[in-house]
Structure 1
Amino acid sequence: MESNLSIYTTLLTLESLEIPSSNIIPAFIFGTLTYCLILFFNMTVLLTIVFNKKLHKPMYILLLNMPVNDIMGATVFFPQQMFSILTQNRSITYSACFAEAFFTHLYGTALTNILTAMAYDRYVAICCPLKYNTLMSSNNLLKIIILIWSLDVTMISIIFSLSFRRHICGTKIVDIFCNNPSLLKLICGDIRVNNYFGLLTTFLQQGFTVLTVLFTYVQILITVVYKRQSEAKSKAIQTCGTHLVVFLCFEFNLLFALVAHRFESTSPSLRRALGASIMIFPPILNPLIYGLKTKEIRQNLIFFSKKKVSPKKQKKKSRN
């Protein structure tokens, strides 16, 4: 065991990305383009909702939290990785690593909270339409949004306050990006309290999220199946099916990445791949599946483009 190292003067070493020197520039370009696409898709959804009064409804106000969270998650992950690829430097200070891990977990937990709130909103709208305006009033909507973020910040703050130490006994991060399980492996002494509390909060929070989302979507499907409109039925089944598949895949990756660190027999490569996929794929897929695939948002995007093009056409017609 190495001697105790001062937190503030220690450089940590992240796991190698194992990119051949010939692929450094292509990998950097691909990663940068991916990050730019994430920003473009999420900003498109964000600005469309913000600047269109027709979309100032509970469903879209809740959806507004998703691009904000996805931009945060992508910004925590991509710039640091792109810099590391370009410079071939896998070093990071403990304080920077701690901050990166904090916001990484903040992003993951917020995403599950937002999806749960959105599922509840759809459940009320479809299964209890007469109560929708009451249950999803402006005051209740504000309470839901505050609850999403306050629970997220509180839980992650407690977890990381337990993880913080004045000294560590190692400098090797066993992952390609910083996270709480990797930081725990650097701690000197007993970390059973951290492990027990982390597992407890993970299973309680994720268990509640999964059960809530499954319950709401099952109730939505049951309600829609009993309706006679075949078009609405097939559309709802397709939408709910897509959302459930994406949600369950994300939950599986998240749980595996968090729990796999506790078992030495788990494949490190598989753990890293699934962990990185949480940071890469949701910020790309979420604005497409939950945002741009939504008919009302798509129509307003088309409306804006037509609004910009029409004055030019009118000028041409007037000249002719």
Structure 2
Amino acid sequence: MENYTYNSLILQLEGLNVSEESIYPLFLFLFFSYLFIMVANVSILVAIFIDKNLHQPMYLLFCNLSVSDMIGSTCLLPRLLIDMLRPPSERLISYYECVVQAFTAHMFGTTAHTVLMIMAFDRYVAICNPLRYTTIMTNKMVIKLTVSAWGVAFVLVGILLGLTIRLNRCRTMIMNPYCDNPSLFKLSCESVFINNVCGLTFTVVVFTFSIGSIVLTYAKITVVCLTSKNKSLNIKALKTCSTHLVVYLIMILSGSIIITLHRFPQYSDYRKLSAILFVIVPGSLNPIIYGIQSKEIRKLLSEMFQSKKMFAVK
């Protein structure tokens, strides 16, 4: 009969199964990826904060995405880097820390959807109702949209993790590089049917509302652009919407791969890799894409780095 440890407060992370030759190259890749995510997103936030010309709803709403990327990567990557240098038997984590990490990981993913949804609403108002844009997208509305994006994600993830916390645990091995909800409820020897159903429902609801809002918004924007003879409007719409759409597609593709691979245990190594890339890829590309798209951000960042170089030379 298999021995079980019930409700242990110390769990073990399986981590990444990599060869000794690959550990340090992978460590350096993840370390510099994390460093780039933090520097790039902080630079964007500082640029938006100090330049009054960037105090526009589009950029203020994008700040939420940068904050989410930094929180998600900080919660997951440093711990992963430390565990990579430890023997498998020493990759230990407390149950409470694991729950916090799982909550943050799902908040990171869910907030990405909700933030991109409110950014799509901002683009819709700017293009379809340009004359009313300033009266609709006031500072008060931006605050409401921001609170809604984070609040909805908090409630949904709270319910998801709450159903998992109620379960008794009889296992201690987290079969993942970091803690998430499926890895946590798989520690239980009780029936996890409700957890699987709720997890699937959670995914369907988030994806349905996310994809539905994006499709509806862009359909209306497309109609306006096709019926409008204003070339400058069409160029502006194409520029801003293509940026937003690329960011959204990167996020949706990364998340879909993880969700799909969770249903196929035989591909656990690919799932682990995709879980890490879900943190790295959007977090790295989001500031690049928006930085390239915005002339104001490009100009300000260029001036900031040039002034630093001149100061260093002196």
Normalising by the residue count of structure 1, what TM-score does the alignment of the two structures yield?
0.87
Tell me the equivalent position of 2:283. 283
Tell me the equivalent position of 1:299. 299
Tell me the equivalent position of 1:86. 85
Q: After TM superposition, give the deviation of residue 157 of structure 1 in Å.
A: 1.1
Q: Which stretches in structure 2 are left out of the alignment for 5+ residues? A: none
Closer, same or farther: CA 160–286 of 1 in aligned 2, 3 Å = same
Q: After TM superposition, give the deviation of residue 231 of structure 1 in Å.
A: 6.3
Tell me the equivalent position of 2:138. 137
Tell me the equivalent position of 1:109. 110
- Alpha-carbon separation, structure 2, partners of 1:163 and 1:94: 12
- Alpha-carbon separation, structure 2, partners of 1:311 and 1:181: 50
Tell me the equivalent position of 2:13. 13
SS at match of 2:189: coil
Tell me the equivalent position of 1:53. 52
Q: After TM superposition, give the deviation of residue 152 of structure 1 in Å.
A: 1.1
Cα offsets for 1:156-211 (capped at 9, x unmatched):
11111111147411122222221101111111212222222222122112210111
Contact persistence 2:36–2:284 (CA under 8 A): yes
Amino acid at match of 2:67: V
- Alpha-carbon separation, structure 1, partners of 2:190 and 2:55: 52
- Alpha-carbon separation, structure 2, partners of 1:130 and 1:230: 17
Tell me the equivalent position of 1:219. 220
Tell me the equivalent position of 2:37. 38
Matching of residue 207 in structure 1 with residue 208 in structure 2: yes
Contact persistence 2:66–2:287 (CA under 8 A): yes
Tell me the equivalent position of 1:126. 127
Closer, same or farther: CA 249–64 of 1 in aligned 2, 3 Å = closer
Q: Which stretches in structure 1 are left out of the alignment for 5+ residues? A: none
Contact persistence 1:7–1:166 (CA under 8 A): no
Matching of residue 67 in structure 1 with residue 63 in structure 2: no
Matching of residue 251 in structure 1 with residue 248 in structure 2: no
Moved more, 180-189 or 297-306: 297-306
Contact persistence 1:159–1:197 (CA under 8 A): yes
SS at match of 1:114: helix
Amino acid at match of 1:202: T
- Alpha-carbon separation, structure 1, partners of 2:238 and 2:87: 47
Measured on the aligned residues, the alpha-carbon RMSD in Å equals 2.7
- Alpha-carbon separation, structure 1, partners of 2:257 and 2:33: 24
Tell me the equivalent position of 1:27. 26
Tell me the equivalent position of 2:150. 149
Amino acid at match of 2:294: T
Closer, same or farther: CA 266–128 of 1 in aligned 2, 3 Å = farther
Contact persistence 1:12–1:94 (CA under 8 A): no
SS at match of 1:168: coil
Contact persistence 1:119–1:213 (CA under 8 A): yes
Closer, same or farther: CA 276–310 of 1 in aligned 2, 3 Å = closer
Q: After TM superposition, give the deviation of residue 126 of structure 1 in Å.
A: 0.7
Normalising by the residue count of structure 2, what TM-score does the alignment of the two structures yield?
0.88
Closer, same or farther: CA 53–104 of 1 in aligned 2, 3 Å = same
- Alpha-carbon separation, structure 2, partners of 1:61 and 1:246: 16
SS at match of 2:93: strand
Q: After TM superposition, give the deviation of residue 309 of structure 1 in Å.
A: 8.2
SS at match of 1:11: strand
Amino acid at match of 2:175: V
SS at match of 2:172: coil
Moved more, 95-104 or 158-167: 158-167
Moved more, 118-127 or 19-28: 19-28
Amino acid at match of 2:287: P
Aligned residues: 311
Q: What stretches of structure 1 move > 4 A for 4+ residues in a row?
A: 229-232, 303-312
Contact persistence 2:48–2:54 (CA under 8 A): yes
Contact persistence 1:162–1:194 (CA under 8 A): yes
- Alpha-carbon separation, structure 1, partners of 2:31 and 2:182: 27
Amino acid at match of 2:77: F
Q: After TM superposition, give the deviation of residue 307 of structure 1 in Å.
A: 6.8
